[in-house]
Amino acid sequence: MSLEGFSQRGGEFGVSAGGSYYMGDINLYKHFYSPHVNVGGFARYHINQRYVVKLGAAYTRLSAADEDFNNEFQLLRDSEFETSLIEMSMQFEVHFLPYLIGDVKRQSFTPYLQSGISAYLANSSQDIINFSIPVGFGIKKNVKPQLVVGLEWNFRRTFSDYLDSLSGEDLDNYDPNYGTPVDEASRNKQTGFRYNKDWYSMAFVTVSYTFKFNKIGCPAYYDYK
């Protein structure tokens, strides 16, 4: 392995803040509909200039209401929900450009793609604990040898259709949990789309502190090159 590749090994600790929104049986297509603030923290391990493993945690709220949409079916359904959401995630990042932590002159900026797995707790959902697949992209820039700022926008595809408490399944599933009256008139009423899983999305700014696991690749090393 080259000195340059080896010098990249290091880590980051950072915080993030931005906005989150939901897409599902109530909000079928509007991005940044009913946004809520999200806050979080993360740690990154830089394997080399191209690949990074990221662990993260975040808190946000999600909400939606049928009355916000000019759709006859939704106006008749007249459903709404609001939930708090706590998430833990592990993701793998791929840099588009060679990137070195600590370098503010040459390889200090890169766009990147990321994906992985996350677990979340949502207090309004029938499936209180569930999993999602995060997919997103971002950009980051070393503004100082140990300070990085960035932007991210990612989407979480959940494995549940109950994040918004709506599904196309039989209403008997809701009766004991949500108090929905079930009678002959409502038993076969469509309340959602059974095979469309819910999504939520987060867009945020990141600020992080970097460190290296060895002394190769200090700023003097970059100047020397």
pLDDT digits (tens, 9 = 90+) for 186-204: 555 566 666 678 999 999 9
Beta strands in the chain (DSSP E): 10-23, 36-46, 51-65, 80-95, 109-122, 129-144, 147-158, 199-212
Rg (CA), the chain: 22
Confidence of residue 99 (pLDDT cuts 50, 70, 90): very high
* Residue 172, pLDDT above cutoff 60: no
Give the Cα separation of 44 and 195 in Å (integer).
Answer: 35
Q: 94: Cβ–Cβ under 8 A, 6 or more apart, which residues? A: 50, 51, 112, 113, 114
Q: What is the pLDDT of residue 137?
A: 97
Confidence of residue 165 (pLDDT cuts 50, 70, 90): confident
Contact 37, 63 (CB under 8 A): no
| Structure tokens given for 107 | 């390889």
Distance CA 99, CA 121 (A): 34
φ, ψ for residue 220, nearest 5 deg:
-65, -30
As a whole number, the mean pLDDT across the chain is 84
Residue 26 has pLDDT above 60, yes or no: yes
- Judged by DSSP in three states, 68 sits in helix
- List domains and CATH numbers for the chain: 3-224 (2.40.160.20)
CA 154 – CA 202 distance, rounded (Å): 6
Q: How far apart are CA 26 and CA 79, in angstroms?
A: 8
Provide the whole-model pTM. Answer: 0.80
Q: What pLDDT, on a 0 to 100 scale, did the predictor assign at position 3?
A: 42
